[in-house]
Amino acid sequence: MIVREWRARASLAREQDYIDYFRRRVLPELGAVDGFLGAQLLEERRNGEVEFVVLTRWASLDAVRKFAGDKITEAVVHPEAAAMFLSYDRTARHYEVVVEDHAAGRS
């Protein structure tokens, strides 16, 4: 499994705008790609801004290519989303999952 990581920064005033956009536009787009396994949107508020971290899970790098194209390290940022950010990463990073554990069901 591959985890793709990407980051962006926004003002607190645009925080909910991006969360709504992520639910409305990004998740359906990702869900339509064969090999997409899930996503997380993380945030950290600091100094009057919010940093978003998007983690997506993919079956393989080939699945990532179906979403991002052949230049998989280039970020995929639609103009509507870009307008919400103070800044954002132009590249994405990819990690191969070598160990995974789920705590569900433990007592």
Q: Look up tokens 């800044």; give the residue.
A: 87
What is the per-residue DSSP string for 7-35?
Answer: EEEEEGGGHHHHHHHIIIIIHHHHHTSTT
pLDDT in tens, 19-28: 999 999 999 9
Q: Enumerate domains of the chain plus CATH numbers.
A: 2-96 (3.30.70.100)
The token duo for 95 is: 């990690």
Give residue-wise pLDDT tens across range 57-91: 999 999 999 999 999 999 999 999 999 999 999 99
Cα–Cα dist 85/74, whole Å: 17
Q: Flag whether the pTM goes above 0.75.
A: yes
pLDDT tens profile 9-44: 999 999 999 999 999 999 999 999 999 999 999 999
CB 88 within 8 A of CB 82: yes
